[in-house]
Structure formats: C-alpha cells, structure tokens
Copies of this chain bind each other. A is one copy, B any other.
Amino acid sequence: MLTDRLRAEFVTLLGTDRVYTDPVTLALYASDETPKSCIPEAVLFPASHDHVVGIIAIAGREKLPITPRGAGSGNVGGALPTPGSLVLSFECMNHILEFDPDNRLMVVEPGVVTGDIDALAATAGLMYAPDPGSGAYSRIGGNLAMNAAGPRTVKYGASRDHVLGLRAVTGDGREIRTGSRTTKYATGYDLTRLLVGSEGTLALITEATLKLIPAPRRIASLRVCYSDDRSACEAVIRVMRQPIVPYALEFMDRRAIEAVREYGAADGLPDGTGAILMVEVEGDSEDIPRHLAALEAALRGTGLLAVQSGFSKAEIAHLWTARKSLSHAVKKIAPLKINEDVVVPVGKLADLVAAIDDLGRRHGLPMVAFGHAGNGNLHVNLMVHPDDAEEMNRARACRLELIETVLKLSGSLSGEHGIGSEKRAFVALEFDAATLGLMRDLKTLFDPYGILNPGKKLPD
C-alpha cells in the first residue's frame, strides 16, 4: 500500500515529475496487450540505474510489488500490474549509451525502442538481429525480459543470443554486471542468459550490451503454396536440413488462408492452396538466384502448387500481403483471439498442425495457426466471443488440450512470447517438480522479498 509518506519518499528519490498517482496515468498503465487490466498504486519513471536501485531499496523494505514495464506491448501479461503494485516504467531510460561498430556492439538503456537500435546499427552496415513484430515500438528491456524473437530467429537466434552483457539490480538490491564485451566468454557463470527471458522476476536490467552482426545485403522472397498442411510441414524439414539457412521461414495454415481470402487479401493465390510457406533468403546479387534455386529444390515435393518469387521491394510486399493482413483478417472471425505461442521440434510440425485441426473441429472453435515454421514455433489463435460463456468454456478446454498435445510432441509452452501471467497455470505441466523447485529457489535467491514482477513466469 502506497502511503503518503512512501509517495513522498519516491518523490524525494525521483522528483515530482517521475511519480504519478493520478487516475488517468494509473489507467493508462493498468493494461498491456492482453484483454485484462489492473490499476496500479503508482507509476514510477526512473531516469537512471541509481533511480532503479533506490526504488528497489524502498520496495524491498516495504514489501511493495514492482511491475516492470517497457512499452506494454507484450501479450502474455508480463507487464500487467498485480493488485497493489507499482509500475516501474523504463520509458525514460531510453538512451543509446554507446555504439561501437568496430566491436559490433551497442550499449543501451532498457527503454530504447528496439527498432531504433537496428536503425542505428544499419548506418554502419550492421544489424541487431532479433525482430519481433512489435519492434517499431517495443522497448529493448521488455524484449530481453521476454527473450523476444521474430522471423529472423530461424537464421540468427533470439534475444538471448544477441546480448553480451547486462547491468542489473536484483530484488534485494544487489547491483551486478554480467557477461563481457567479448563474443566469447568462459569465465563466470552465465548470468546474462539466465536474466534474459526471466521476465523481470529475478532482476531489473538497467543497461544491456548488445551484439550486432553484419547487415543483410539483398533479400528475396518466395511464397510457396501447397495443397495441404502436411506437405508444407514436410518441406520445412527439408529446408532446414540443407545448408542455405533461410532469412525467414513462415507458415500459414488452411484456416489462416481462408481468413485472408474472406478478407480479400489473397491476390494471386492459386485455387486449392491449403498451406503457405513464406521463405526469405539473404545474400548479394549473385548469391540470391543460386540460393533461391537451392531453397526451391528443398521446397519441391508432394502437394506443391506454386512457387512465386519476389525480388523488388514492391514484389516482396505483394507476396507478403496475405501474411501481413492476417492479424486484421482473423478479427473478422470473432472479436477475441486467445493467442498461444507453442513450439515443437520441426519434425513434429505436421503432427501439431493436424492436432490443431482436430481440436478446432472437436471443440467447435475456429483456430488459425501461423508463425515461424523454421523454429517449429506456431501462433495458434483460438477465435472466440468473450461474452459467450459456453464458448469460452470450450476454449479453455481446447487450450488445455492444445498445450498437452504440444508437450506430448516434445514441445514447449512458449517459443517467443514468454509466460507472463497468462500461461503460468500450464508451466507445471512442462517441468518436473525438481526442476520447477530449483527455478523457484533461483527466484528466491535473486528476489527474497518477492517484489519483482510477482505473479509472473512461475506458477504459484
């Protein structure tokens, strides 16, 4: 509970313009991209590492829960306040502290917009590889907290693979520096990767040293149409076994294609298309044709209907129309999507898609699946009417069955969105008791008062 005395203490620490308790601000910071909301006690806008240390000191002493927040663009409730919590917004810690092209690294505060990092890197022919769909507005601190990924992950890895080191503050106020400025490191325990993806439950990141890589040269796209899901999924296995690693390898299932057709964004799509792979390749002008030929050879097989290629920006944009219009198209099916973000080994993708089809039929729910097929990571959207209690019950049962299916296929609950508040009920299905117990003990070690993003990541 934020008493007047405590409020005054935060004002003394941060300044009046960094402590908000007015209803409008509280309402603005009550929700993220989930349909839920919870009014916090206050919203704090630290401007420095020392501010974060000070906030944690007070919160620890008073046992006040902190909800860390970047742009609030996550969709699993990672930045959703819990009752009585203080939102700690990193929006004002938005400075790029250092850009060192020779060492291919950038040191940033957590509130920097992820897309700005990539844009600055590009001025020196470099790239920050992780490219979540929210990159134009999401903040790097949130991306690191959730181990965000995107289409380029198939070639370059996720956020965790592009951080060299961190500055952070644990729940009991320890100020730590992890990792190194080097691309190779065998000295201490790997605290860097432990913190990335820990969803702000172990420590708050106040500074990150990011690894940059040479930027792509030219990109070309293929839209590859198959008669059926299984044929497309089998092509994914073949593509991932050959040496030209695609720059993107995205999948759309039959129901996603139907949605796009109904939305009027299926221009040029052959009749009978039951699954699509979007494939991108990166290289110089001479590489591209040969690399495309290698990919086409791998993509060829049962059920292939058409391979459509795009080289210019306009051609590429046209090929991606169906995929890019998908998020709008699915809204026509039902007002709410329950978005799962499951991941399986690529060899099990066909089984997963078949199971989704079966689940949708048995539970009488439209289910749309698409996503990052090269990593076996599908976004499965259960389209529902939130006011229809009976349908919502069916959705709940369907969701549980989906998770159970994924785990049976040696998969995992989340490929890139994380757990947040929305998926933690399922976490105990994935981990055995000993492993989960150790994770809880880690949480207690880093955050003994339980003030850092409580109610997230691990089940109660």
Instruction: Say yes or no: A184 contacts B241, CB within 8 Å.
Output: no
Instruction: Say yes or no: B194 contacts A189, CB within 8 Å.
Output: yes
Cβ contacts under 8 Å, A284 to chain B: 243, 290
A213 nearest CB across to chain B (Å):
8
A123 nearest CB across to chain B (Å):
13
Identical chains bound together, number: 2
A106 nearest CB across to chain B (Å):
13
Q: Which residues, 155 to 185 on A, are CB-close (under 8 Å) to B?
A: 157-158, 160-161, 170, 174-178, 180-185
Cβ contacts under 8 Å, A217 to chain B: 243
Cβ contacts under 8 Å, A372 to chain B: 184
Any chain B CB within 8 A of the CB of A198?
yes
Q: Which residues of A are interface residues toward B (Cβ below 8 A)? A: 100-105, 124-126, 146-147, 149, 153, 157-158, 160-161, 170, 174-178, 180-191, 193-194, 196-198, 202, 213-217, 237, 240-243, 245, 284, 286-287, 290, 341, 343-348, 372, 375-377, 410-419, 427, 430-432, 434-439, 441-442, 445-446, 457
Instruction: Say yes or no: A191 contacts B438, CB within 8 Å.
Output: yes
Partner of A185, one of B170, B175, B178, B412: B412
Determine the distance from Cα of A184 to Cα of B152 in the docked complex, in whole angstroms.
12
Cβ contacts under 8 Å, A175 to chain B: 432, 434
A321 nearest CB across to chain B (Å):
26
Instruction: Say yes or no: B202 contacts A197, CB within 8 Å.
Output: no
Cβ contacts under 8 Å, A434 to chain B: 174-176
Partner of A416, one of B105, B186, B191, B436: B186
Instruction: Say yes or no: A184 contacts B439, CB within 8 Å.
Output: no
A437 nearest CB across to chain B (Å):
7
**Nearest chain-B residue to A446 (Cβ)?**
B438
Cβ contacts under 8 Å, A436 to chain B: 188
Determine the distance from Cα of A242 to Cα of B127 in the docked complex, in whole angstroms.
11
Partner of A102, one of B158, B241, B415: B241
Instruction: Say yes or no: B196 contacts A190, CB within 8 Å.
Output: yes
Determine the distance from Cα of A189 to Cα of B440 in the docked complex, in whole angstroms.
10
A53 nearest CB across to chain B (Å):
11
**Considering residues A184, A198, A436, which has the most beta carbons from chain B within 10 angstroms of its beta carbon?**
A184
**Contact A190 to B181, CB < 8 A, known contacts A161-B161, A214-B241, A245-B214:** no
